[in-house]
């Protein structure tokens, strides 16, 4: 574990969930205000009819599901994904979560699952826009703070290494994401980096600092995978992530925990 950066993520979902719920109040109020912006940005789309929201974990998704009054739909039994549907402001909303792993009983997470969800979601529901929301780690050195919400400007991979000419750039991805100007100022914007692991090695961190003009501020496990699928279909893709832990923090876990608990408790008042 020598080359692993100490993660401050030994929070239970209760703590992370509380921070995310607080951020959700901000996110869910804003999320529909930028849809007209996306319509304008994409000339081929005259009117958005369907929005596909992808959220990996059930706990992350539950505030949005209840806010939007979505009802669970019959999913395809061949896949673990849960699908919720409803309508808001005349738009069809489809929300997918990744469901549980049948062997280990935990929520499915990560890029492989995210790609599958995006592929099936786009194929089945033909959305005009895909939105990925969730929790993420942040780099303190790049200014990330616990509780901050970021909108992605780019999505890339930090652990997809293919050191062959052209494949190297393909591996890191550097996909464009949609950053509607109407939400500039509401959220910070950042490059988001995706990997299969919750932790990050020194080598990956080194690569991360070199592979993009703008060093990633946010690290999670789904965004770039969904971006790749959206690119195949030219579907505008919006990423919104709330920081629940700092990857490069020197703070002791207990201190971080207490600090987070304070933020989280405040949000419950």
Q: Please report, as ranges, the residues that interact with ligand SAH according to CB under 6 A.
A: 9, 11, 13, 16, 56-57, 109, 134-137, 198, 219-222, 244-245, 247
Q: Which residues have C-beta within 8 Å of that of residue 204, sequence separation ≥ 6?
A: 158, 159, 195
User: Which is catalytic among the residues 15, 174, 245, 256?
Assistant: 245
| Catalytic residue chosen out of the listed positions 15, 60, 107, 222 | 60
Strand partners, 240: 133, 151
245 is catalytic: yes
- Token pair listed for 26: 């901000």
- Retrieve residue 230's tokens: 């959206």
128 vs 244 by CB, closer to ligand SAH: 244
Q: Which residue has the tokens 């994401």?
A: 177
- 169 by DSSP, 3-state: which? helix
- Give yes or no: 60 in active site: yes
| Residue closer to ligand SAH, measured from CB, 35 or 138 | 138
Task: Give the shortest CB-269-to-ligand SAH separation in angstroms.
Answer: 23
Q: How far is the CB of 25 from ligand SAH (least distance, A)?
A: 19
Return the closest-CA partner of residue 5 out of 137, 143, 136.
Answer: 137
Centroid of chain to Cα 203: 23
Name the residue nearer to ligand SAH (CB basis): 128 or 193.
Answer: 193
Return the structure tokens found at 265: 């408790």
- With tokens 């919750």, the residue in question is 198
Smallest gap, in angstroms, from Cβ of residue 183 to ligand SAH?
20
> Shortest Cβ distance from residue 119 to ligand SAH (Å)?
18
Give catalytic residues, as residue numbers: 60, 245
């Amino acid at each position: 574990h020598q080359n692993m950066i100490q993660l401050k993520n030994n929070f239970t979902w209760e703590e992370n969930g509380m921070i995310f719920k607080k951020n959700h109040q901000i996110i869910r109020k804003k999320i529909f205000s930028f849809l007209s912006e996306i319509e304008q940005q994409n000339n081929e789309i005259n009117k958005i009819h369907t929005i596909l929201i992808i959220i990996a974990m059930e706990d992350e998704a539950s505030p949005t599901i209840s806010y939007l009054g979505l009802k669970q739909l019959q999913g395809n039994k061949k896949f673990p994904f849960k699908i919720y549907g409803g309508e808001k402001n005349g738009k069809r909303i489809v929300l997918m979560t990744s469901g549980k792993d049948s062997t280990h009983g935990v929520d499915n997470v990560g890029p492989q699952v995210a790609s599958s969800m995006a592929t099936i979601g786009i194929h089945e529901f033909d959305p005009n826009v895909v939105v990925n929301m969730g929790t993420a780690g942040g780099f303190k050195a790049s200014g990330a703070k616990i509780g901050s919400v970021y909108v992605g400007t780019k999505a890339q991979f930090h652990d997809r290494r293919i050191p062959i000419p052209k494949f190297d750039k393909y591996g890191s991805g550097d996909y464009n994401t949609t950053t509607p100007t109407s939400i500039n100022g509401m959220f910070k914007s950042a490059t988001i980096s995706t990997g299969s692991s919750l932790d990050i090695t020194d080598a990956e961190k080194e690569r991360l600092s070199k592979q993009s003009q703008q060093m990633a501020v946010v690290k999670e496990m789904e965004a770039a995978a969904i971006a790749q699928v959206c690119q195949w279909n030219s579907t505008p893709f919006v990423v919104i992530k709330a920081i629940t832990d700092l990857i490069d923090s020197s703070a002791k876990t207990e201190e971080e925990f207490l600090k987070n608990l304070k933020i989280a408790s405040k949000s419950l008042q």
